[in-house]
Copies of this chain bind each other. A is one copy, B any other.
Amino acid sequence: MSGPVTIRDVARAADVSPATVSRTFVRPEKVDAVTRERVLSAAARLDYRPNRAAQSLITGLTGNIGIVVPDLTNPFFPSVVRGIQSRAEELGYPVLLVDTGEDAARESELVTRLGRQVDGLVLCAARMSDEDLLSHRQQRPLVLINREVPGVPAVTFDNAAGIAQEVMHLKALGHVRIGYVAGPGTSYSSRVRQGAVTTHLAAAALTEVAVGSFAPSFDGGRSAAEKVLLANVTAVMVYNDVMALGLINQLAQYGVSVPNDLTVVGYDDIEFAAMANPALTTVRVPREEAGALAMSYLNALMTATGPAPEPPAQLKTEFIFRGTSVRVPLTGALAE
């Protein structure tokens, strides 16, 4: 008899009923040790694999989990995905991935579609509204990364601390008027970070000069160059590393050299921050760790029988002092 081996084949080989075979895999403790061994060895001998579809049909569970990211080509996200993926693999979950292409509108629809194929979801930097998020949360377990909505489980970074460290750093270097290049106002973490910048700059008695909002991309950073030049500052904090790198690149076109003429600090510590020349001063956010933690938490949520598991703490960020920040007085073109 051909075809894949089914639970009945194993049952026959082990001389038990199909139900006992099923129990052996689902509730081993409810099966006599001797019987269990017999079943297990028969299953191994026949190379039996439970049919997922049949299990799904009856349990209503797929055994898969889903990840949603806004843009996989943004170097922030592959690390997160990797963290989720490797933990998911340890836990035995295959992972369904969807890249929404930064499209906030489609995001919610894609989550709905994906939601039907998985038992739980990790949403990275979700762009959708709080309401949509809350409604998806009703459907199935879900963990957010880098986004907070009251009542929705989330893994977040201690952004305030990271910003505080940068501010302290800039103050220690003697900077007083400090520019801030913001990300898109529609992004949750951009708004959070902007708030932290304002707060900590004020607390440090430093002057914040808002440069404006730009796309969270290399070109977005580039397009901020003119406004930065006009801001009459000695240092500028940028929403993220990719933008900071773009800004520095465009500044070079203007003959403005970083850090001699201007101090620039980024955020995220993407791989290329260290590779750039000069290497970018930034704040490291533990992306892979966040992914793994989110997956662990999601698993706890999915398997929880009793009370909801404790949400994980905020992840610590780490200030990284590299080559794009120096002490004032400046000696270059922008010095007065």
Residues of A within 8 A of B (CB): 49, 51-54, 56-57, 62, 64, 72-73, 75, 77-79, 81-82, 85-86, 89, 94-99, 101, 113-114, 116-117, 218, 245-246, 249, 252, 271-272, 275-277
Contacts and interface: CB of A to CB of B under 8 A. Distances in A.
Contact of A97 (B62, B73, B97, B101): B97
A116 B277 contact: no
A78 B85 contact: no
Contacts of A97: 81, 85, 95-97
B52 A116 contact: yes
A52 B117 contact: yes
A291 B187 CA distance: 29
A220 B180 CA distance: 36
9 contacts: A52-B56, A53-B56, A53-B62, A64-B96, A64-B117, A72-B81, A95-B98, A272-B272, A276-B276
A246 B86 CA distance: 27
Nearest to A274: B218
Contacts of A72: 78, 81-82, 85
Listed from nearest, the 6 A-B pairs whose CB atoms lie closest are A53-B56, A53-B57, A97-B97, A72-B78, A53-B53, A73-B78
A260 B313 CA distance: 50
B99 A96 contact: no
